[in-house]
Amino acid sequence: MSAFDLRGRTALITGSSRGIGNALAQGLLEAGARVVVHGRSRSAAERAAAELGDKTGGTTWATAFDVTNAAAVEQGVHEIEEVWGTPDILVNNAGIQRRTPFLDFPDADWDDLIATNLTSAFLVGKHVARGMAKRGSGKIINIGSVQSRLARPGIAAYGATKGGIAMLTQGMCADLAGFGIQANALAPGYFATELTAALVADEQFTQWVAGRTPAGRWGRVEDLVGALVFLSSSASDFVNGQVLYVDGGMTAVV
């Protein structure tokens, strides 16, 4: 199993102060990596980093910057590089959701979604990949969604960002493979987190998720860890530009 061993590797996971990113951080820590825990709120990131360190016995460090702000991203990545060097693994996970029927969708929500879910992966990806390219190795994992491929009413803008993530991933592969970098996307189905709390509480929606997912249930954040460790490790050194759906089979069936 040494191909999956992450001991000695450093990972930056954006938006790991809670939710899916936090579970991904725990998974990489348990596989041996040391992890930079991140969010906009420094206190939340510090609290999460301390909790993850206690839980796993692994090494964590907390940082905070807004992934939509180019100058803040450049400064934030620079600070990480000064402490731990360029990360071996970057997980572009920070993201938001906004729901409104298309005809009334607020322009400001469109801009927020594009900036937080898509521009962020370009900005953080570019600054981290520059160091990875110099070193000649790196793993970039962009978090997509079943909405990278499938639409739902009320979330056209979110779907546009996640479809964009799939093509950004292929573009990163095209530009970065020659530098020894693999860029892939991990695309979760419906997972119970803060982002989906209102949907989980909605009995009708939960019934729809169970019926529409061949596995018959919401995803549990731990369900994502095996795929993430694979994409972060040398086990995936010849896998590049792919979208791996971890969705209980949802995108395989109509």
Gap between the Cα atoms of 89 and 178, Å rounded: 17
Residues 6-45 that bind ligand NDP (CB under 6 A): 14-15, 17-21, 39-41, 44
Q: Is 145 one of the binding residues for ligand NDP (CB under 6 A)? A: yes
**Of the residues 26, 60, 86, 116, which one makes contact with ligand NDP according to CB under 6 A:** 116
Nearer to ligand NDP, 56 or 213 (CB): 213
* Residue 17 near residue 61, CB atoms below 8 Å: no
Quick check: 93 binds ligand NDP (CB under 6 A)? Answer: yes
Beta strands in 107-202 (DSSP E): 138-143, 181-188
| Both tokens assigned to 144 | 């997509």
Catalytic one of 61, 65, 122, 158: 158
DSSP H or E segment with residue 214: none
**Contact yes or no for 122/170 (Cβ under 8 A):** no
Residue 245: active-site member: no
CB of 57 to ligand NDP, least distance (A): 22
Where does 92-152 have alpha helices with state H? 107-113, 120-135
Q: Give the side-chain half-sphere CA count within 13 A for 51.
A: 14
Site for ligand NDP in 67-86 (CB under 6 A): 67-68
169 is a site residue for ligand NDP (CB under 6 A): no
Q: Which positions are catalytic?
A: 158
Would you tell me which residues interact with ligand NDP (CB under 6 A)? Answer: 14-15, 17-21, 39-41, 44, 66-68, 93-96, 116-117, 143, 145, 188, 190-191, 193-196
